[in-house]
Amino acid sequence: MNSLDSFDGWVENASVIENFLYQHLRYYQNQESADAVINRFSKLFIEALNYPDQEVWQVVSRLAGAAESDRRFKYTLNRCCYTLINYWYSQPRCHRAIPRLIELFEELPTDAPSSATSRRIRELVARFTQTEQYEALRHLRQVFVESDPGSISDGQQHQPVGTLLRHYPFLYDHNLLTKDSDHEQKRSIQNLKQQAEQKLGINLVRYNSYRLGHSHKAIANPTRLSNQQLDQALDYYTGKGYEKKTHKEFAGWFLAYSRSVKTFREFKEEFVNDYLLSPIAAQSPKYRNNQFSRTLRDLTRATLTDFDEQKLNSFTLVELIRKLLISLLLQSRRRPIFITFRRLLEDIGYTYATGLLLRIVLLCSAARPALERCFSVMFNHHENCQQGEVPWLIESLEHTNIAIVTNFGGFGFSAGV
């Protein structure tokens, strides 16, 4: 009896069948060139015709014809993609194969094959391109496609926002991973993120050292900001400002002080007035009681009011910060709009606005993913826009990138202020 004859149902036997398929792909990764493996993948899934290994074709046919295939096939196909991608990622000479594999899904065949099995596989592959799993793959392709960061005013302003993803590692977790991402995939993406952050951090340290006269080797601006904008950003995010403390030092001081407050309501008052607004008002007194400061106070006071009489704890701190970030950046998580954030940018400028967000997440690093998730929603909402159509978004991403890398990346910065 054929070893596959006993595989009658998806739920009972899917893992065995799927592992057979993954092992098949791994075997040929070690036997053939990346181009040959891509061609093999195309014959099996994209063309779904004339696959030379009949046993493997039988496996895919059974998976495609199973009762659960409408719901489950996307996970198997996604895992097949990452079986190849994870291996190629570990081999730098094969990195170019990653976008080429993903590009197979961009031009699916339109003819109707005579085989019902082939038609079914093509139908399921077409449905796959409408899933969050494919969205993550499509974003991953952008990370491996070389692009020059350039400047906001250059000819690249006509390119889609999505082509800039590789330059913003703080977006990687929420753009390149899905709920079903396995451990190996998460490890690869984390490695990608760390490499991108390290590259930017080193370039910023070198640029900063040169502009402060500590190094004689000229270093190009590694961002899309002007030199003047970048200098101001580095000074503000890394230098000693309010109370002669850096943002990180101020966060540590306030967190230690907040342990003495009696209630969550008291904490919220000191949080919004002393921690969030005072550093901005110290630079420009109008922000002590203008429309922006009143809105921020109202948002903070209205958050988690059921806990107002309790003491501050880790749950209420994380939830306060998460809800505040959503209110400031998205206004609503289910129907995101960006009016509040754009008004914030117009009111206090990119540097102060990003400094405000930085202080929020420095107070509780567990809330940093919420900031990254909000910006990912913003990025994805605009990814098909031309860069020149949304300069406010590009500049915000640049400032956030710099603020995160300089404060969370472990790089040493000496500011010019």
Q: Which pLDDT does position 13 carry in this prediction?
A: 56
Q: Which pLDDT does position 4 carry in this prediction?
A: 40
Q: Which pLDDT does position 9 carry in this prediction?
A: 38
Same domain, 75 and 204: no
Same domain, 217 and 332: yes
In a domain, 47, yes or no: yes
Q: Which pLDDT does position 236 carry in this prediction?
A: 95
Same domain, 108 and 210: no
The model's pLDDT over 363-410, given as tens digits with 9 standing for 90+, comes to: 998 989 999 999 999 999 999 999 999 999 999 999 999 999 999 988
Q: Which pLDDT does position 216 carry in this prediction?
A: 83
Domain ends where: 95, 113, 146? 146
Cα–Cα nearest to 173, from 399, 374, 321, 337: 374
Domain ends where: 96, 114, 146? 146
Provide the pLDDT confidence category of residue 115 given band limits of 50, 70 and 90: very high
Mean pLDDT for the chain overall: 90
In a domain, 4, yes or no: no
In a domain, 327, yes or no: yes
In a domain, 1, yes or no: no
In a domain, 378, yes or no: yes
Share of the chain above pLDDT 70, in %: 93
The model's pLDDT over 289-327, given as tens digits with 9 standing for 90+, comes to: 888 899 899 999 999 999 999 999 999 999 999 999 999
Same domain, 104 and 172: no
Mean of pLDDT values over 39-46: 97
In a domain, 382, yes or no: yes
Q: Which pLDDT does position 287 carry in this prediction?
A: 85
Provide the pLDDT confidence category of residue 40 given band limits of 50, 70 and 90: very high
Residue 4 or 399, more confident: 399
Same domain, 137 and 201: no
In a domain, 311, yes or no: yes
Same domain, 115 and 175: no
Q: Which pLDDT does position 157 carry in this prediction?
A: 79
Q: Which pLDDT does position 148 carry in this prediction?
A: 54
What's the number of domains the chain is made of?
2
Q: Which pLDDT does position 376 carry in this prediction?
A: 97
Question: What Å distances lie between residue 101 and 22, 140, 159, 178, CA to CA?
Answer: 16, 11, 23, 19
Residue 12 above 80 pLDDT? no
Same domain, 136 and 175: no
Residue 335 above 90 pLDDT? no
Tokens of 408: 């969370």
Same domain, 181 and 118: no
Same domain, 69 and 21: yes
Provide the pLDDT confidence category of residue 86 given band limits of 50, 70 and 90: very high
Same domain, 110 and 188: no
Same domain, 27 and 130: yes
Mean of pLDDT values over 230-238: 95
Exposed/middle/buried for residue 410 (C-beta within 10 Å: 0-12, 13-18, 19+): exposed
In a domain, 414, yes or no: no
Note the pTM of the prediction, 2 decimals: 0.90
Residue 213 above 90 pLDDT? no
Determine the structural domain holding residue 260 and report its residue range.
165-408
Mean of pLDDT values over 244-257: 93
Same domain, 70 and 187: no
Cα–Cα nearest to 2, from 62, 67, 82, 83: 62
Q: Which pLDDT does position 5 carry in this prediction?
A: 36
